[in-house]
Amino acid sequence: EAQVTQNPRYLITVTGKKLTVTCSQNMNHEYMSWYRQDPGLGLRQIYYSMNVEVTDKGDVPEGYKVSRKEKRNFPLILESPSPNQTSLYFCASSSGGAGGYGYTFGSGTRLTVV
Amino acid sequence: GQNIDQPTEMTATEGAIVQINCTYQTSGFNGLFWYQQHAGEAPTFLSYNVLDGLEEKGRFSSFLSRSKGYSYLLLKELQMKDSASYLCAVWGDYKLSFGAGTTVTVRA
């Protein structure tokens, strides 16, 4: 089944403790992206990747890192999480970076930083 | 920058029709998407418009006017399961930019 897999689904952590949210897709998509979703603000892009070893900042990259060492994986790293990073996070992938194909989303990761 | 506006909430009766409007001002445009999102779940694809006009897909239709920076999603024969958030999104500048979403509540 074609899918984007995120782990974990739920995570509660403490301020400053480094964490990684994994994302993997089995569709051989070149384009992958991370979003966060907050009430009233909608989905905002954190980082995106056009291909292996090619990443770029989205609208809200502060406090996050990503890497793209393999085509299928695109982990999101929070080096020192803070309470304002409490949010619902989605990973997405697409077969076309120039539009027309839409995204396939992962199931989401609900992160709480206390 | 990207500015995408849609109403926050709409309520309608089962069996009725609801139209969700979306206006956008974006620095790049390669198409407009509509997604449905149930609470706590991932968005799912509903429709895609890149040329002006109406695209119909079952009970859902989407319209685009590029010159006006305007789109709408039309939901016909509303069912209780259509209660969800509907997201308008524009593809441009190598990303999909989303509006804040419109929560549609369907009442019996």
CA distance B60 to chain A (A): 17
Instruction: For tokens 């304002």, name the residue.
Output: A84
Q: What is the pLDDT of residues B32-73, one digit of tens each?
A: 999 999 998 999 999 999 999 999 989 999 999 999 999 999
Does B92 contact A at CB distance below 8 Å? Answer: yes
Contact at CB, A100 and B92, closer than 8 angstroms? no
Secondary structure E strands in chain B? 3-5, 9-13, 18-25, 32-37, 44-49, 53-57, 60-65, 70-75, 84-92, 95-98, 102-107
Percent of chain B predicted with pLDDT > 70: 99
- CA B47 to chain CA mean position, Å: 8
B93 confidence band (pLDDT: 50, 70, 90): confident
CA distance A43 to chain B (A): 6
Greater confidence (A47 vs B1) lies with A47
Nearest by CB to A105, from B42, B48, B95: name it: B42
Spatial separation of the C-alpha atoms in residues B108 and B97, rounded to whole Å: 33
Q: What is the pLDDT of residues A55-104, one digit of tens each?
A: 999 999 999 999 999 999 999 999 999 999 999 999 999 886 545 567 89
Strands B3-5 and A65-66: unpaired
Does B43 contact A at CB distance below 8 Å? Answer: yes
Q: Which residue of A has its CA nearest to B98?
A: A43
